[in-house]
Chains A and B, each alone.
Chain A
């Protein structure tokens, strides 16, 4: 079963606008990661935020984490057509595994020129 649930499932915006995607998860985590996937290709790691962090920035990306609400958000500012992709949050699992990631269903982002 999936740990994370992304919201919205799909998002369509114009270039230059900001895109916000949300992720909720069910169990305690050590860290949460965001990945991007372009059209059925491999996943590209975007950012990792640890459970003791509340906010993290990387270029045009801003990730927040609220462990009390078991939720995270990914903000892409000044979006570009090249940001069109699916975005997934992934949490580690306390089930005895170390590198096991539990992925959400993803948000499909379309950025129109």
Chain B
């Protein structure tokens, strides 16, 4: 069974631009979560989607948004990029909406904002 895939793996953008990251969960998984990892703040929860609906959201500004499609694939968008948005963005998929189930992480997208 293929793992979680994220595209692109690396991205360089300039301040003020916007970016869209993509995540394809493991086949059959319906929950997709997004995390931001930076050296200063560590791993922080962005949001979670289940059955095309956002179920939970972390403490990030409205510039960060996401969506999930009917095939469970998810995208996250960051508008008006700031230098502080440089980070590794990780997506995780899970079978169901239940924290007692293991989450499977993708390799991440490394975003650099210059």
Interfacial residues, chain A to chain B (CB-CB below 8 A): 2, 30-31, 33, 35, 40-45, 48, 50, 88, 90, 92, 95-106
Interfacial residues, chain B to chain A (CB-CB below 8 A): 4, 31, 33, 35, 42-45, 48, 50, 55-56, 58, 88, 90, 92, 94, 97-108, 110
Q: When the two chains form their complex, are residues A50 and B100 in contact, meaning their CB atoms are under 8 A apart? A: yes
**Residues of chain A lying within 8 A (CB to CB) of residue B107:** 41-42
Q: A97-B56, A100-B45 are in contact. Are A40 and B88 (CB under 8 A)?
A: yes
11 additional A-B residue pairs with CB within 8 Å, beyond A30-B99, A48-B102: A33-B103, A35-B105, A40-B88, A41-B107, A43-B90, A43-B105, A97-B45, A99-B94, A100-B45, A101-B35, A103-B44
Q: Can you list 28 residue pairs at the A/B interface with Cβ under 8 Å?
A: A31-B99, A31-B100, A40-B110, A41-B107, A41-B108, A42-B90, A42-B105, A42-B108, A43-B92, A45-B104, A88-B43, A90-B43, A92-B100, A95-B56, A96-B56, A97-B55, A98-B50, A98-B56, A98-B98, A98-B99, A99-B50, A99-B56, A100-B48, A100-B99, A101-B33, A103-B42, A103-B43, A106-B42
B43: shortest Cβ distance to chain A, in Å?
Answer: 4
Q: Specify the main secondary structure of chain B where it touches its partner.
A: strand
Q: When A and B form their complex, which 7 residue pairs have the shortest distance between CB atoms, in order from nearest?
A: A92-B99, A97-B56, A103-B43, A43-B105, A42-B105, A98-B97, A42-B107
CB < 8 Å A-B pair total: 82
